[in-house]
Structure 1
């Protein structure tokens, strides 16, 4: 077994590998860029080597710098994580020449499966179901339009060397095919150094289901069940689960056997994933094979009890798998929610900045419940614009799907993140969405259920009543604290005024509170609720029981009240007298400034190109500029017709949120 390994990656996956290596008694080496000097993975590793400037193309994906770090530290093997160099055959080759083990598959498998065009041809030869498409090289946008028309819209335009949703576009028309080809090729070149593009039929109402495979160097290859990854936005996975609520045993077996057949066709060893698209009739089609560890691997680990990172290390060291296909059992259900530094209220655009508060839920593992949080950040750390916006992967396990979902709801409720935009509210809203709970989902879930974007969850009346009751108790405790500090405690009444009012957004609740033996009996619009809570003024997480049912909410005191967040909803809460509430209702709403004649940068990013000139007349929907943020290119378009009066940014400019890019007459 290896004595020391180097992790050629960063963030949560580097931390994840370090944890398993530490448990196995293997020393670890981290690498880091200028931006990651104080990163968590650097602190966790036994050694750390600086490899260059912040941009990945000057540090993490420079093979020579990784090799120098390997040589300097004497590492015997390298785990690539995912992304970066994980599927670069030349990296595995370079390690082999240096006499260093690659904790991943053979070079031939990476070459065959890493190229999506080649992989589809090999899949067809191995008897794997494939999606109709054009696997040849496409010269330009006009040829892309011609091929798309022959295949039949809608089509998926994809980078041959792509992954993680980058270099991928869906086109429904010639215009979208032309633009999609150009954007996909540009993204592919900047992300992977390979601008080859192919086109395939887009399966409507699809579900994204993938099979985890694991092979050793002695001819054994197994499948470890499936993962459902259908909740996606911009072709990037947001929520994953294992097993899939859609598959039956026969389909699972057929998909697993095809995944193993493909793996054996390329002499695959190590952990890998064969991805399929599945239609409503459980017909499945090969998408691609990822010759690396997947982001969502924890859900497979939770239902199988198999540590995939450990198996990858053991396979790379030449060991045989210690179990067979008959030993693989799927127990219970697991969910994974990807916590991203992105603002769901602004179209999921990336967010950067400092984590002023980062308090994940406590990790637990019992016979009936588990919470796991794979992360690479810490409170006070900074989210950089240079890398993927993932903050953490929050996972829960339960004996069945309902229990796993309920565990995720509670874990998300108790996850505190402040200082940046993040998608916790969206994740919480999905967990309560009837369609998700039913398991009737497709990859179009977000587009179909949130067509105008995410604007927060609408809580049912019963939840609003519970929150209003809790707010009344919290207000009473705040008043009691103030009275105690002022020395007026002896005159403090035992109740919030019987005619007090809780305002939550535009909703009004008449309340009163009576405290008896540690329980607050709260009357809300005539209904009585019993509240138990240890909350005290200053706490930002409110844990309570309402009529015996747990409730966890986040609370921030603000001028005139507080901001309460629960299950994807964010509510401004105020407690006051009926007269004050009556007067508050008369106050005019403050109108936001008029920005209709400005193009504002919606996310921190780099201006890639400006598509118009000053004085030019533009039409609604016309492309104005392209901004790159966290490795994704975003085209900003005109919301209405007008004339460009002034352009304030040039290609190469680094912009913050709401910086003015151009003005219109």
Structure 2
């Protein structure tokens, strides 16, 4: 990029969280002052602290703050900002907002209003795409009045179909239907979700491509008619249409397909007079046939992977384009170097069907950015801090953890190491699931579709079972941790000088239902852990009691292990494995086997609220007989509607809450007979 500063003096960022911090980072490097806006819930947020100025714009609900155009315009006037970056979400694809800024004489760091308007409506955008020669998915682009019409149209297209909100995005207002009943229910749910999220309940239906891959093309254009594409991103690892892991480039595309997709993306962008950064999304089938999905007229959440493989700062490029500069690079100069991965760290509980989690971050320590010492590069985009709160009012994303390496497998390995090094406590989070994905054989082999998660975790995510090879390594870590703690306790209590004799060297580690007898000895600044069946593992570590993350070398392998002390022993978390380990003397271990196992309470006749949220609907009544799979209630949390269904047939004995009630996790909703 040009080394001269662009002709902008002060940028107001009409957003919050990590994307606001991301824009501030590039603006500061360019010598441009920044203005943050914040709701009452974000008064102490990181983006507010990092900006040069900050302006309050309203109460916590986004409909009363970040989505209020007049409040943003007032902040622009108050601070004298000469440009606005919208980030993504909120007003980023609002043509009226872009137009209002133009009328104020303020630069909008994004595309022209006419392009936003054309591409923001999925029905209109598909028609324009077809006219521009872009491959499109068969479907019904007209408006649909009711659920019955939705079912009729879906049957005519042929199941399965995708029901979508015309003004949708971020996975909201989207449902897959495989039959008439699901089409009717999906239409009602999508329209309700679209209305609450976007204020627009228009719905359309298109053919759902089986075995699809979600691959998108990054485009970049200036105000002088220059348009290029910067390769692709693969976003096939999704859950409920929300992207979970993204990578660049795609291991599936060949050069001819990449070029064809890129040229069609540029043709569509040119047809709507596009400038700035944007993304054209495609569905690609198993034969590399690709179909236009939508165009996002903004910066994408996953833009860092493109930056990592191209070396182009997309935020800087957007700023320079808004200032009137020409692109400094031609299409034939674009180079893709190495491989990049991005994992979205969310406040959600993977063990409870990924339901949102809210609360305070009692501990948040991301891995260090830069070279990781093992051939990878780490980047963290975040907008949270330790002690901060994850609010029910906004998206539950905590951070984006990105890695770059020469090859795909090396980038995945770097991601796995980085995930192990994230310290995150106080709320439910998806780190174990992300670690499981990074370790999954099918993911590592690149055999991806958008159904990957649904196919590989049919009954939901229940954790990662340690392998036979994992058990001695984790037991060795537990042995060393226990040994260090016992020596510390012995020193504090003034025990015998001969600590080894006072503590002993023979123990039994019990984990994952197995008992592993071992001996441990301190040797040359480290430890030798010898198991009864023969293996000897040399372990070294600088871990000290109370340290929540320990770096261990076990048998020559580096392991970053989260260490917790529980009433029953140690909790070790590594590579998605979450195990309890008891390290006992042989006699105590023998007696422990005689103890009765505690049986958890029976909640099979109760429907408990799985997340903090509001009761949007109760769809049954007391005394009603219900079937397995029948909808019982809908809970709205973080702008998403979650339908709770009966796990088995039964009769409703009592309903404990009313519609509109705010519930905490595990609060009773209804009871079965």
Question: TM-score, length-normalised on structure 1?
Answer: 0.99
Name the CA shift for 1:256/1:366 in 2 (closer, same or farther; >3 Å): farther
Return the alpha-carbon distance in structure 2 between the equivalents of residues 160 and 283 of structure 1. Answer: 24
Answering whether residue 12 of structure 2 is matched by residue 6 of structure 1, we say yes
RMSD: 1.2
Asked if the contact 1:495/1:515 (under 8 Å) is kept, the reply is no
Pairs within 5 Å for 1:92-491: 92-365=98-371, 368-491=375-498
Answering whether residue 549 of structure 2 is matched by residue 549 of structure 1, we say no
Q: CA deviation at 1:518?
A: 0.5
Question: TM-score, length-normalised on structure 2?
Answer: 0.97
Asked if the contact 1:34/1:53 (under 8 Å) is kept, the reply is yes
Q: Which runs of 5+ in 2 are unaligned?
A: 1-6
Equivalent position of 2:581 in the other structure = 573
Equivalent position of 1:90 in the other structure = 96
Q: CA deviation at 1:620?
A: 2.3
Answering whether residue 51 of structure 2 is matched by residue 45 of structure 1, we say yes
Return the alpha-carbon distance in structure 1 between the equivalents of residues 626 and 471 of structure 2. Answer: 46
Return the alpha-carbon distance in structure 1 between the equivalents of residues 381 and 126 of structure 2. Answer: 32
Answering whether residue 586 of structure 2 is matched by residue 596 of structure 1, we say no
Return the alpha-carbon distance in structure 2 between the equivalents of residues 653 and 52 of structure 1. Answer: 24
Q: CA deviation at 1:599?
A: 1.2
Which of 485, 492, 500 is the equivalent residue of 2:499? 492
Return the alpha-carbon distance in structure 2 between the equivalents of residues 413 and 165 of structure 1. Answer: 28
Equivalent position of 1:30 in the other structure = 36
Equivalent position of 1:641 in the other structure = 649
Return the alpha-carbon distance in structure 2 between the equivalents of residues 310 and 176 of structure 1. Answer: 45
Return the alpha-carbon distance in structure 2 between the equivalents of residues 560 and 602 of structure 1. Answer: 27
Q: Which runs of 5+ in 1 are unaligned?
A: none
The 4+ residue runs of structure 1 with deviation greater than 6 A are: none
Once the two structures are superposed, residues 553-582 of structure 1 have per-residue CA deviations (whole angstroms, 9 ceiling, x without a partner) of: 101111131110111111001100222222
Q: CA deviation at 1:629?
A: 0.7
Asked if the contact 2:496/2:502 (under 8 Å) is kept, the reply is no
Name the CA shift for 1:527/1:497 in 2 (closer, same or farther; >3 Å): farther
Q: CA deviation at 1:365?
A: 4.3
Return the alpha-carbon distance in structure 1 between the equivalents of residues 386 and 501 of structure 2. Answer: 39
Q: CA deviation at 1:637?
A: 1.5
Equivalent position of 2:4 in the other structure = none
Return the alpha-carbon distance in structure 2 between the equivalents of residues 465 and 416 of structure 1. Answer: 24
Equivalent position of 2:528 in the other structure = 521
Equivalent position of 2:3 in the other structure = none
Return the alpha-carbon distance in structure 1 between the equivalents of residues 501 and 68 of structure 2. Answer: 67
Name the CA shift for 1:22/1:493 in 2 (closer, same or farther; >3 Å): same
Asked if the contact 2:212/2:450 (under 8 Å) is kept, the reply is yes
Q: CA deviation at 1:97?
A: 1.2
Which of 490, 499, 509 is the equivalent residue of 1:502? 509
Q: Return 601-610 or 388-397, whichever deviates more.
A: 601-610
Return the alpha-carbon distance in structure 1 between the equivalents of residues 100 and 587 of structure 2. Answer: 76
Q: What is the SS of the residue equivalent to 2:469?
A: helix
Once the two structures are superposed, residues 371-429 of structure 1 have per-residue CA deviations (whole angstroms, 9 ceiling, x without a partner) of: 00000100000000111010000000001111101111110011010000000000001
Q: CA deviation at 1:462?
A: 1.7
Asked if the contact 1:535/1:542 (under 8 Å) is kept, the reply is yes
Q: What is the SS of the residue equivalent to 1:644?
A: strand
Q: What is the SS of the residue equivalent to 1:490?
A: coil
Q: CA deviation at 1:640?
A: 2.4
Once the two structures are superposed, residues 602-628 of structure 1 have per-residue CA deviations (whole angstroms, 9 ceiling, x without a partner) of: 111111112122233322222111110
Asked if the contact 2:564/2:570 (under 8 Å) is kept, the reply is yes
Which of 619, 634, 651 is the equivalent residue of 2:627? 619
Q: What is the SS of the residue equivalent to 1:493?
A: helix
Q: CA deviation at 1:657?
A: 0.5
Once the two structures are superposed, residues 496-549 of structure 1 have per-residue CA deviations (whole angstroms, 9 ceiling, x without a partner) of: 644310011312111111112202111023101111100111111010111222
Return the alpha-carbon distance in structure 2 between the equivalents of residues 649 and 73 of structure 1. Answer: 47
Asked if the contact 2:372/2:378 (under 8 Å) is kept, the reply is no
Name the CA shift for 1:527/1:58 in 2 (closer, same or farther; >3 Å): same
Return the alpha-carbon distance in structure 2 between the equivalents of residues 366 and 449 of structure 1. Answer: 30
Q: What is the SS of the residue equivalent to 1:200?
A: strand
Q: CA deviation at 1:664?
A: 2.2
Asked if the contact 1:496/1:512 (under 8 Å) is kept, the reply is no
Return the alpha-carbon distance in structure 2 between the equivalents of residues 615 and 60 of structure 1. Answer: 44
Asked if the contact 1:185/1:197 (under 8 Å) is kept, the reply is yes
Name the CA shift for 1:208/1:577 in 2 (closer, same or farther; >3 Å): same
